[in-house]
A = this chain, B = another copy of it.
Amino acid sequence: MSIKTAEVVTIGDEILIGQITDTNTQFIATELNKLGVKVLRKQTIGDSKAAIVNMLKDSLANADLVITTGGLGPTKDDITKHTINEFFGSELVLHQPTLDTVTAFFAKRGKEVSEANRLQAMVPQCCEVILNEHGTAPCMWFEHNGKFLVCMPGVPFEMKNLMTGGVQSKIKQHLDIQEIYHKTILTVGVGESVLAEMISDWEDSLPEYIKLAYLPSFGSVKLRLSAYGSNYEYLKYETDALFVAIAPVIEKYIISETTEKLEVALGDLLNAHHLSLATAESCTGGALSAAIVSVAGSSQYFKGSVVAYQNEIKKNILGVHEDTLLRFGAVSEQCVIEMAAGAVKVLQSDLAVAISGIAGPTGGSEEKPVGTIWMACSDGQHTLTKKIVGINIREVNISYATTQSMYLVFEFVKMYAFKEC
């Protein structure tokens, strides 16, 4: 049978009580999507036999492929393997290649294989093992009544290597020819509902096989068209043409038509104009710099950052005037102007962005409540400033400032009409 639909399941009490963020299912869903497999549902269930059995029955009935992660660790809270073994009426046997890999894995680190790790090399006889080269838990592939079940370990980089390697290869053997094409536009400066009204007629005229989604976050909205059909080139042609038709209507809000990630779009912008960038950060504490560096190849355009969390660093390294801090305070337009100018100088960049604000939860005042954040972009001659007011949650304010300061660079480049090279 061919694989058209999937369910993705995470197994682990630690996720149900909110102890860790599950990023595995997002990765798996993205990979399945690229293969044209439609994800019908994602689930997280606990380390309980009843929950696992219920999930197996329900999910295998609902979708062609069920992918689980987690619950394969060496410790006693992990019962997935035994439950699945029982569910299929199989028995556990030693998988020698897994034991060899595990033994080599520990030998390389000068350690012996523990009894718990040895037990991890036992697998249900009815499964096919996909070798996990980065950890001790084997990946298992089951076929049952024309349906497929894959069980992967929950450690993210082990899972990622399996998902883009052996698991992907196995899935590809069972795929239909159905194709899928996504096209996303990144917009900024317009709300979801206003955008929806602007393109309402166009949206109503979309053909049945093309679906539009709005994905809003922190002042930006992504518009995504997804086309489903049998001919990839046709889907791509039709979808791209639909975007060409609507682009002029929303042109001034479009940041990128080629990437969905703001930090990648920023890199593209800087590369296109042959500009280098630096940052001077106070309340974001390096979050902007880290976002820029998360992009591979950012050394092409990124110089570095001064995280001036204390005023003495703002003065000593960035050259902010003592007088500015006394008269206006660290969270002021004047301070970020001097921080940005100082960063251009000391980090020897074409442009610099500076951020100073009150992330919270404490430190606010009547005049400058928590969430008050000033930012400036400078090339040493011109400066563009912006003030935003966030909320009372530290992490939200840091994210918000990080995102908004990247937009400020787009505005600065547009305003001062740097020529595209």
| Contact surface of A with B, Cβ cutoff 8 Å | 13-23, 25-33, 39-46, 51, 73-77, 114-117, 134, 136, 155-157, 160, 182, 192-194, 196-197, 203, 211-217, 222, 224, 226, 260, 279, 281, 283-290, 292-294, 296, 298-299, 302-310, 312-313, 316-317, 346-348, 359-362, 391, 393-396, 398
Contact = CB atoms under 8 A, between A and B. Distances in A.
Please state the number of chain copies in the assembly: 2
Contacts of A212: 76-77
A134 B390 CA distance: 11
Name the prevailing secondary structure of the A interface residues.
mixed
B43 A43 contact: yes
A21 B17 contact: no
A39 B47 CA distance: 12
A197 B119 CA distance: 13
B157 A391 contact: yes
A30 B18 CA distance: 5
B307 A286 contact: yes
A254 B144 CA distance: 45
A393 B39 CA distance: 25
A335 to B, nearest CB: 15
Contact of A21 (B21, B43, B302, B306): B21
Contacts of A296: 359-362, 394
A196 B119 CA distance: 13
Contacts of A222: 19
B309 A306 contact: no
B26 A21 contact: yes
7 contacts: A20-B217, A41-B45, A136-B193, A157-B391, A285-B305, A286-B307, A294-B395
Given A17-B33, A114-B194, A289-B307, 12 more contacts: A16-B39, A19-B260, A43-B43, A75-B196, A76-B203, A279-B307, A283-B293, A293-B359, A304-B306, A304-B308, A304-B310, A304-B313
